[in-house]
Every structure is written in structure tokens, then in C-alpha cells.
Amino acid sequence: MDVRLDLYRRMVRMRALEKRAYDLFLRGLVKGTSHLSTGQEAVAAGFAAAQRPDDYTFATYRGHAHTLARGAPMEAILAELMGRGSGLMSGKGGSMHLTSTEHGMMGSYAIVGAHLPIAGGAAWSAQLRGSGQVTVCFFSDGTTNIGAFHEALNLAAVWQLPVVYVCENNQYMEYTPIGAVTAVRRPAADRAAAYGLEPVVVDGNDVDAVYETALAAVNRAREGGGPSLIEADTYRQGGHSRADPGTYRPKEEVEAWLARDPIPAYRMKLLGDGIDEDTLAGIEDAAAREVDEAAKAAEDAPPPELALVERDLWADGGAAWRN
């Protein structure tokens, strides 16, 4: 039961973070756009709970929840979104590039599909070093129609890399239903056989199912069983980004998925399994306090020092750095 309460705590903290990020954006404190994963928390929670602290995670620009799930401080995440000096990357990366290598969060990537081969490289490194580390790489349904998806899966299968590729199928490529532009019904799972992999599909809104599926795939990879490709069916409750009201989605579809919201559904499941109301309310209250304190500290933090503009850059654009 401790694992299940941990899963609920993770999801509640993610929801609190994303809601506050949205509120801060509306106040003009989050510059640029942001991509929220409200409604997709069960995927991030289930996999993070199945990973070791030294495992690697790669995510898309919709990576706030994954970063929090791997242990990055909430305050540092919100500060990064607001461009503060106390942010994860001192305010230089912003919403779409969250990275915390000390927590195994190897980056959020703004270029669709760019991180899949990089995740394979991280897995290859672990394989060569014999470290037992496993890489988990998250991407969305639209990435399955990009060349990097197929190239990464092919090499992962050929080299039997310890990597788990997870398609968070939230049903839309930005504004286009994935089914309207894809030849197969399941964009990830139906292509697994082409690389000698088993087609694995999980209800991405059922955190227990995600955790069990994640644990099996991660343990298999750690024991030398090679890569997995998992398709998690889920739904982003908002638009593609904060600039998108999502009005292109049918009302009935949105209502049906909202009724399957992973957090209230899991709450009811836990209550039915004998967890008392006070325990769950305590988790929720703690998350509310945490996000209030984190947001205030981040908002009060100073901007980055000007000298940081010359840090974390190549000294020149030529080939000298390769030597």
C-alpha cells in the first residue's frame, strides 16, 4: 500500500504544479508558451516509481511532470518557468528544456523526436559501462511519424539496449487527431513488430496498470532483455499549449476523457480499498502547501546574473571543441 500512496502523492503534486504553472502564465510571469500534461499524470508517476534513482529519463517539451516525478524540486521548476536565477538551469532554459541530471532527468526536448536517438546513446553508455542503468524515453503520438522514431527503435533492437520507449498517446498531434494522418490504429504498438518488439498497450490513465507495466519493462531491460516499446493511452485535458484553447476537439470526446481523469479515479479506488479519507486529504493538503511555498519563493527570486549569459556555451563555432 505504501507504493500506491506514493503513486497518488506523485500525481497530486504534478497536478498542483501544472495548475500553478497555468495560473502563473495567465499572470504574465511565465514567459513564452508552456505545454501542460494535465490529465497525463499517471504515466509519469507510474514510470518514475518503477525507476532507480540513477536511471535516466528523457522527455518532450511537455516535461514538467516528468521532471518533478524524478525528484527535481518544485521551487526550482517554477523558478525556471519564470526565468529566475534559482531555476533548474538558472532561468536560461525555460519550460521546454527542463533538465536535472542529478535526478536522472536528462532533459526535455523542444524538437519533436530529437531525444529518441540521444536516449539510445545514454542506454548504450550504460550497457558499455555495465552500470545496470535503464533509460526511459517519453514521446507523444506525433513522434511516431518522424524518422528518428524508427531509427532509434531499430538500433535499440539491433544492439539490445536497456531502453524503454514510452509513447504517451494523448490522441492529438498538436491540433490534428493522430488517427487522421497515421496508417495504423495504434501509432506505436502497431509498429513494434517491425523491430522485433512486442506490442505493449496500457491504459495510461490507470496508474496501477502503468506502474506494473513499467516495472516489468524496466526490470527486463536491467536484466539484459533489451528494449521495449510501450503505448500508453491518455489525454491532455487542455490544448496543445497555453496559446491553444483546444476548440477543435469534440465536446463529447473531452467530456468522456475528463470522466476518466486519473487522479479522482485513483482516489476513489484507494478509498474503496480501505485507505481512509484523512490520509488522502493529508496528501492533498501537503501538495497545496508545497506549491504555494514553492511559487512564492520562485516569484521572489532574483533574475539570473548577467554574467550567466556567457556560461554553458561553446567557446567558438568551429571544430576545435571536438579536439
> Average pLDDT for residues 13-37, to the nearest whole number?
94
DSSP H helices in 169-226:
207-222
Q: pLDDT by residue (tens digit) across 169-220?
A: 999 998 999 999 999 999 999 999 999 999 999 999 999 999 999 999 999 9
- Name 158's Cβ contacts closer than 8 Å, sequence gap at least 6: none
Q: What is the pLDDT of residue 312?
A: 77
In angstroms, what CA-CA distances link 8 with 263, 287, 320? Answer: 7, 11, 50
Asked if residues 280 and 267 have their Cβ atoms less than 8 Å apart, the reply is yes
Q: How many CA atoms lie within 13 A of 238 on its CB side?
A: 16
Identify the CA nearest to 34 among candidates 46, 26, 42, 43.
26
Residue 291 pLDDT greater than 80, yes or no: yes
Work out the mean pLDDT of the chain and round it to a whole number: 95
Asked if residues 114 and 196 have their Cβ atoms less than 8 Å apart, the reply is no
Q: What is the pLDDT of residue 320?
A: 58
Q: What is the pLDDT of residue 169?
A: 97
